[in-house]
Amino acid sequence: MRIEHLINGRSRWTVPAAKMKMRKAHVVPLPTQLVAALRELHQRTGCGRYLFPGIGTKHPILSENTINLVFSKIGYKGRLVGHGTRHTASTLLREHGWTKDHVEAQLSHVEEGVAGDYNQALYLPHRTAMMQWYANYLDALKVGITPAQICKFEKQVNRHPVVQGGVRQEPCQIRRLLTAIANL
């Protein structure tokens, strides 16, 4: 990632097509917490071209192996790799009811067949809200999420309504129902 992606308050990162597996540019909305952290990182590391520089001219950017080594050293060896964070995010977002199209677009997954050829939607407003929700949710988990916060988060999801027994269930009702079942 280059520092110019964050200049002038931009909160999106565009990955060039040449860097993507499918050779199509990918726009990534960045939550406010990440933008602040990346700006702080740049202030601490200097005026380099990249936010995550490698060592020397042969390796100008940090490698995936370096990220995996960090996970290993902090106690996640054999349990998490850099790419696995995509799996975690996808699962958490989908389990909380975020729309499949928005989650898949965030991961730069393309729908197969003719539908995928025709659908060029980026869903940027939805994905921006989703990624800010995700960052806020992770922050809440870090400090200990409360039942009231869970209801607040559930209300922010752009989910399809859940119908049980012909009655539409509101997000907090669903959470209460799941909690009651778990406590049986």
Residue 122, domain member (yes or no): no
- 130, part of any domain: no
pLDDT at 183: 64
How confident is residue 135, by pLDDT bands cut at 50, 70 and 90?
very high
- 58 belongs to a structural domain: yes
Average pLDDT, rounded, for the chain: 81
pLDDT band, residue 157 (cuts 50/70/90) = confident
- What does the DSSP 8-state code read for residue 160? P
Q: What is the pTM of this model?
A: 0.77
Is 70 contained in some domain?
no
pLDDT digits (tens, 9 = 90+) for 103-126: 999 998 887 888 777 777 888 899
**Number of folded domains in the chain?**
1
**Structural domain includes residue 29:** yes
Question: pLDDT tens-digit profile of 33-88?
Answer: 998 888 888 888 776 777 888 887 777 888 889 899 999 999 999 998 988 899 99
Classify residue 57: in a domain, yes or no: yes
Write out the residue range of the structural domain in which residue 33 sits.
1-62
pLDDT, tens digit (0-9, with 9 covering 90-100), for 158-176: 655 544 555 555 555 555 6
* pLDDT at res. 175: 58
Residue 67 lies in a domain: no
How many other CB atoms are found less than 10 A from the CB of residue 78?
A: 7
In angstroms, the Cα distances linking 17 to 23, 27, 72, 154 are: 5, 10, 30, 35
Domain for residue 17, yes or no?
yes
Long-range contacts of 89-98 (CB under 8 A, 24+ apart): 89/134, 92/134, 92/137, 93/130, 93/134, 96/137, 96/153, 96/154, 96/157, 96/159, 97/154, 97/157, 97/158, 97/159, 97/160, 97/162, 97/171, 98/130, 98/133, 98/157, 98/158, 98/159
